[in-house]
């Protein structure tokens, strides 16, 4: 009875984290691996490890910890597989959902992120979709905060170039 209760509470907690941070985490793994299918595998691996109790998550910093775990697992997996090979999986490999009027930008955004160096794309993903502070990102990457801020600025600038700024400006000016 106690065991069942313990297992259930652990499972519920993980489920909550997965629903809360899963989309941003999978986008982050995509930015490292460049492949949606592999990114999802990474996420499953991380959460299964957590379920088995092999990792103790500090309650004060769940989000940075999850991003760190995803990063380590993705890097480990990336060493095994070749990077930058976009494989279309059963989900169609799409990374983002967007309002109908922006749907045609999704694929462009995805390919633009793939074009960025990994150290820039991962900062961008953590900042925009992970809604993390530079300080938290610096903790995850184990680099100074100024480096993170610099990478982010470069990433934004490069992404604007890649997404043809004039068109983008027109879109969000509407």
Partner 1 sequence: MNMQNDDEKFENFLRQFQPRAPRHLQIEEQAARREFALGLMAATAAAVIVLAVFIIVGRRSRTSAPDHVQNISTIKSSPEAQPLTLGKANDLLLHAPSISAAIDSLAGESQGMHIQKGMHSALAILAQENFKERIKL
Which positions lie near partner 1, rule CB under 8 A? 3-4, 7-8, 11, 14-15, 18-19, 22-27, 39-40, 43-44, 47-48, 51-52, 91, 94-99, 102, 105-106, 109, 128-129, 156, 159-160, 168-169, 171-172
3-class DSSP state for residue 156? Answer: helix
Question: At its nearest, how many Å lie between partner 1 and the CB of residue 61?
Answer: 21
Task: Report the distance separating Cα 162 and Cα 107, nearest Å.
Answer: 12
Residue among 81 and 169 whose Cβ is closer to partner 1: 169
Q: Is the dihedral of CA 139, 145, 148, 153 positive or negative?
A: positive
Residue among 75 and 96 whose Cβ is closer to partner 1: 96
CB 62 within 8 A of CB 27: no
Chain-centre distance of CA 37, in angstroms? 13
Distances (CA, A) of 155 to 12, 143, 145: 36, 16, 15
Question: At its nearest, how many Å lie between partner 1 and the CB of residue 112?
Answer: 10
Question: At its nearest, how many Å lie between partner 1 and the CB of residue 105?
Answer: 7
Residue among 40 and 64 whose Cβ is closer to partner 1: 40
Question: At its nearest, how many Å lie between partner 1 and the CB of residue 31?
Answer: 10
Choose among 67, 31, 24, 5: nearest CA to 159.
31
Residue among 24 and 148 whose Cβ is closer to partner 1: 24
């Amino acid at each position: 009875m106690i065991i069942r209760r313990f297992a259930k509470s652990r499972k519920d907690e993980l489920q909550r984290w997965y629903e809360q941070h899963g989309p941003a985490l999978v986008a982050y793994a995509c930015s490292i691996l460049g492949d949606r299918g592999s990114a999802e595998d990474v996420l499953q691996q991380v959460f299964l490890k957590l379920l088995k109790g092999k990792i103790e998550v500090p309650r004060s910093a769940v989000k940075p910890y999850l991003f760190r775990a995803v990063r380590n697992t993705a890097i480990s997996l990336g060493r095994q597989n070749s990077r930058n090979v976009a494989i279309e999986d059963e989900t169609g490999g799409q990374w983002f959902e967007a309002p109908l009027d922006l749907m045609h930008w999704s694929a462009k955004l995805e390919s633009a992120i793939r074009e960025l160096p990994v150290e820039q794309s991962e900062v961008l993903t953590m900042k925009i979709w992970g809604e993390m502070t530079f300080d938290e990102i610096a903790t995850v990457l184990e680099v100074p905060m100024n480096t993170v801020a610099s990478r982010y600025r470069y990433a934004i600038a490069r992404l604007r170039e890649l997404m043809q700024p004039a068109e983008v400006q027109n879109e969000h000016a509407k």
